[in-house]
Amino acid sequence: MTTTGQPGITGNVLFYSQPEPLSPEMHGKMGVKNMDGPFGFAKVGHAVPLTVGEFPAASSTGPIIFVGDEKLPISVMGLNAGENMFLQADGLFQPGVYIPAYVRRYPFIFANDDAAKQMVLCIDRAAEFIVESGYDMPFFETDGQPSQYTKNCIEFCNNFELERQRTANFVQILKDLDLLETKTASFTPMNADGTAGEPQKIADYFGVSEEKLAKLPVEKYIELRDNGALPQIHAHLTSLLGWDRLVAITLARQMQAPQAANA
C-alpha cells in the first residue's frame, strides 16, 4: 500500500464521485468530522456489493443475488434504481438493517496502480464529512505519518480486499460446479376489487439452483461443507425470501404517499 501521489481511480465506482490518492502533500491538513447521519451518500445504493463472509448477517435484510458476467454478489436494498429503501432521511440506516462493509469502508478505497504493481489508498474527496478544518480525526499527524484513524481504515481496507478475494474464489466454485442459474423475481399486485392482478417482474438475476445443489455428487457436497461454502450458499438461498419483504415495504410506502400528500 502506498499513499504517494498516483493516478486516481478510473471508471465508475459506486458512491465515489471524486476519488484521489491519499497523500500528506494533498491531504496533510484534512480530516473527517463526526456526523450524526454519516451514510447519506448511500441513498443511491439500491444494489450494494457484498463479500461472501457477510452473507449470513446480510441475509435477514434483503436478497443476496449474483449479477453480471463475473456473477458478483450484491445486497439488494431497494427495488427502484438509485433508491436505498433502508436509508432514512437523517443519513442513518433503519435499526436492524445490515450495513455492508462496502458502505462502511467509505470514503476509503484501494485502487490498482498497474505501473507500480501495487495498491494505492484513495479517498472520495467529495465526501461531505471530509473537511479542511474542524475535523475530529486527521488523516495525517504533523510529521506526515498516517494518523491512527487512517491506520485503522487501512487495516479495514486490507481486510476488505482479502474478503473480496475469498468472494471471487467462492463464486468460482459455484461456476465450476455449474450451480448458478438465471432467476426472476416477481410479484402479483392486488386489484381494487381484491382479485389478483397481472404478475410483474422485478428483476432477473443469477442465483444458486436448489435442484442442481441437491443433485451434486456426495463427495462434492461434502467438499462444499468442508471448505465453508455450504453455509454461505444456504444464507444466499434464505435471503431470497427477502424479495417479498422489499415488495411489502414498497407497496406500503406507495399507499402512505397519497395520504401524506393530502394531510
The ranges assigned to domains in the chain are 19-183+200-262
C-alpha to C-alpha distance for 115 and 23, rounded to whole angstroms: 18
C-alpha to C-alpha distance for 78 and 94, rounded to whole angstroms: 13
pLDDT score of 196 more than 90: no
Q: How confident is the model at residue 5, as a pLDDT?
A: 38
Q: Is the pTM of this model over 0.85?
A: yes
pLDDT score of 7 more than 70: no
- Calculate mean pLDDT across residues 233-254: 91
For 101, the grid coordinates are 462493509
- The residue among 159 and 7 whose pLDDT is bigger is 159
CA 68 to chain CA centroid, nearest Å? 15
Evaluate whether 31 touches 131 at the Cβ level (below 8 Å): yes
Q: How confident is the model at residue 9, as a pLDDT?
A: 47
pLDDT range class, residue 261, cuts 50, 70, 90: low
**pLDDT tens for each residue of 12-37:** 789 999 999 999 999 999 999 999 99
Q: How confident is the model at residue 31, as a pLDDT?
A: 97
Evaluate whether 26 touches 44 at the Cβ level (below 8 Å): no
Reference 38, options 9, 15, 59, 8; nearest CA is: 15
Residue entry with cell 455492508: 100
For 257, the grid coordinates are 404517499
